[in-house]
Every structure is written in C-alpha cells, then in structure tokens.
Amino acid sequence: MHRERLGLPTLGVNIDHIATIRQARRTVEPDPIAGAVLAELGGADGITAHLREDRRHIQERDVRLLRQTVRTHLNLEMAATDEMVAIALDIKPDYVTLVPERREEVTTEGGLDIAGQIARIGEVVDKLQSADIPVSLFIDAEPAQIEASVKVQAKFIELHTGRYAEAKDEKSRKQELDVLAAGCEQAMKAGLRINAGHGLTYWNVYPVACLPGMEELNIGHTIISRAVLVGMERAVQEMKLAMRGKF
Ligand code: PXP
C-alpha cells in the first residue's frame, strides 16, 4: 500500500474540506472526487477522507466513488462504531484510520484513547484486519497509548501532531517534536508502522517529515486553503470569460 520509502514520508491528501465547501450550499460543486484526481495528478501518494457520523462534509457516495477512482491508496478515517465498520467492510478502503469523534467538535480533537477501551478497539481492529483492511490508530504520542496500540495489534499508528502544530513558541514546539520523536522510537521498536497528521502546514511540516520511521503524513486544511487562493486568479478570469459567453 505504501510506496517504498525513499527517506521521506509519503503524502496523503485529506479532501474533506472540498466537501465542506460543497455542503455549505448542499450543491454538487466542488466535487471532492475531482479534487482527489487533481491531488493525485499533483503527486499525492494517497487520498484521505473522513466519513463523520453527522455527514457534515464527506458523504457515503463520495467514499464509494473514491474507492472506484483513486489510483493511489484510499485511507478512510472513521469512528470505531458498528455503522462505520459495516461501511468499511463493504467499501474496502486500502486502510482505515480510527479517530475519536464528538458531534460538537470543529475538527478531530486529541487522539483516540486506546488504553481506556482495549476490548472495543481490539474487536474493531480484528474485524477490519481479518478482512484485509489494515488499521491505523490516531493517537497522542503517549507511551501508554502506543503500548495499547501494540496490544490491539493494529498495523499502524497515526501520531497526532496537533500539539506540535499549535505550540506558541520555538521552545514548546521543540518539546512537542521531542515527544513525537520519542513516540516514533517506541513505536518502531514495537514493530508498529507510523503515520502522522493534524494541523501540519507548509511552514511546520518539514521537521515532522524528518522524524525517523515516519511513513505517511495526512494533511488537509492547509492544502485546501492554499488551493482556494492559488486558484482564485484563474477562477475570476474564467468567470469574466463566462460573462462574455466565452467560457
Ligand atoms: N489526520 C487525522 C486523523 C485527522 O482527523 C485529520 C483532520 O481530519 C488530519 C489528519 C488532517 O488534519 P489537517 O486538516 O489539520 O491537515
């Protein structure tokens, strides 16, 4: 699933926020499927989509179409609920990332507590991995959570980089990076494969990309934000053409 490592991690582009814009008008544009095709043309190594219980952005239709169109690999982010497990077993993404989910949150807040629900997560990991869908667990880089991830036999963890991304000064950023590095070391020793994501931007991604053992970074908001802006000039020029019947 993952390309052979050439020293730097691969990039999974999270396309949720293309769907966020679409759902703001409940219309058909912009289509996250088209976004995924263009992301792959731009060099994305994988496409990530989060099907939330409240369907606030990605819809089931999107995941089904992505399954048919994604040429790299499809990472389905989801909560560890029976509904989502059934959908994943049916659609068969290349891997699943289990994330915590609260209806009132703006985005995923904090990692999943594996240590506190070993039996439940173990059951979900087993169901998915028995169907040849590797599972990644989105966790904070805490020793107990990494140990618990080994216990439930997940293939991957995704280290939550939110605290690193939100650090207010260089000193605390360095501290958070050290926490992530220690997490990588512990995970590698235990035989877990390592992804990371959340809050990464063009300006803070490089030190995380250099962490030992890092396989894939899942990045969404900063890429979609930039895409909206770098595409603005052309979009306005094309509307002027359309107004003249020349589009
Ligand atoms: N990884 C996980 C598990 C996430 O929940 C998210 C947000 O949906 C991301 C990565 C991407 O985060 P961001 O949009 O901040 O790049």
CA of 157 to the centre of ligand 1 (A): 14
Domain of residue 181 covers: 10-221
The string of pLDDT tens digits covering residues 73-103 is 999 999 999 999 999 999 999 999 999 987 6
pLDDT at 108: 67
Residue 215 in any domain: the answer is yes
Q: What per-residue string of b and e applies to 168-193 under the rule 16 or more CB within 10 Å gives b?
A: eeeeebeebbebbbebbebbeeeebb
Q: For a substitution probing ligand 1, which of 14, 136, 180 has the most ligand atoms within 8 Å of its CB?
A: 14
How many folded domains does the chain comprise?
A: 1
Q: Is 200 in the pocket of ligand 1 (CB under 6 A)?
A: yes
Low-confidence ranges of the chain (pLDDT < 50): 1, 3-4
pLDDT at 102: 75
Residue 245 in any domain: the answer is no
pLDDT at 184: 98
Name the residue with the closest Cα to ligand 1, atom 6.
Answer: 198
pLDDT at 1: 47
Q: For a substitution probing ligand 1, which of 16, 95, 107 has the most ligand atoms within 8 Å of its CB?
A: 107
Question: In the chain, what percentage of residues exceed pLDDT 70?
Answer: 95
Residue 232 in any domain: the answer is no
pLDDT at 109: 73
Residue 141's nearest CA partner among 104, 190, 94 is 190
Q: What is the pTM of this model?
A: 0.95
Catalytic positions: 50, 77, 198
Residue 241 in any domain: the answer is no
Q: Is 12 in the pocket of ligand 1 (CB under 6 A)?
A: no
The CATH number that applies at residue 31 is 3.20.20.70
Residue 37 in any domain: the answer is yes
Residue 236 in any domain: the answer is no
Residue 81 in any domain: the answer is yes
Residue 4 in any domain: the answer is no
pLDDT at 6: 58
